[in-house]
Each structure stands twice: as structure tokens, then as C-alpha cells.
Structure 1
């Protein structure tokens, strides 16, 4: 099964052009990759923010403030 439309590799590859799978989907893959990247960072930002808010209410407020100053 070929994903580039060639049944035989017995051709001059200089005339073939791109020989990687899923040719023609480069723009779609970039859009999906960037969307996933932004979605992942948004989820991480929200989860870490919730974690830090929860940590503020646990234990001594001075210790938490001192720990957060280092970072």
C-alpha cells in the first residue's frame, strides 16, 4: 500500500518529487500541531493556576509566600 501514489520504486527519484507519506497535508498538519500546542498550554496554565491557588490555602501563609518568592 502506497501513500504517495506509486506502486513501484523503480523510477528516477529526481523526477518523482516528494517521497514522504501524506504529501499535500502539510498545512493541515501545521494547523493541527499549533492548535494542539495552544490547547495544551491553556490546559496547563489553568491546572497549574488552580494548583497554586489550592497551595496558597494550605499551611502557613508566610512559608508559602517565601517558597513562591524563589520562583
Structure 2
């Protein structure tokens, strides 16, 4: 597309394991390397991305929908 955002994107993650995968490339499963490479290319287009752990009981509706 050729455009770049001048802000940042906050990604809340509910799984500590996935959170660690996002922060530490060495911990990522080999089977997901292609997926994470694609995510990293998209992050470069956004600019700054902040990963944070979501509070597990913070949004019961979202948790219920995720499980369904």
C-alpha cells in the first residue's frame, strides 16, 4: 500500500505462552515460523506495536466468545 501510520498499535494477548512468543523469537514453535514472519512484515507497515498481557477476568464477554 505504501503508507505508514504515525502511531502505535496495542495488542492485548490472553495467553502467556503466546505473549512470550511475540517478545522472544527463540521461543516460537518451528511450525509457526511462517505465521510470525507474516506478522512481523505487517508490524513493519504499522510502525510501533506494543504487546501486553490482557487481564484474564477483565472482559468476560470476550472470553466467553473466544471459547465458543
TM-score of the two chains, using structure 1 as the length reference? 0.27
TM-score of the two chains, using structure 2 as the length reference? 0.28
- Which structure carries more strand by proportion? 2
Per chain length, whose mean CA-contact separation is higher, i.e. which structure has more relative contact order (CA < 8 Å, sep 6+)? Answer: 2
Larger Rg: 1
- Which structure carries more helix by proportion? 1
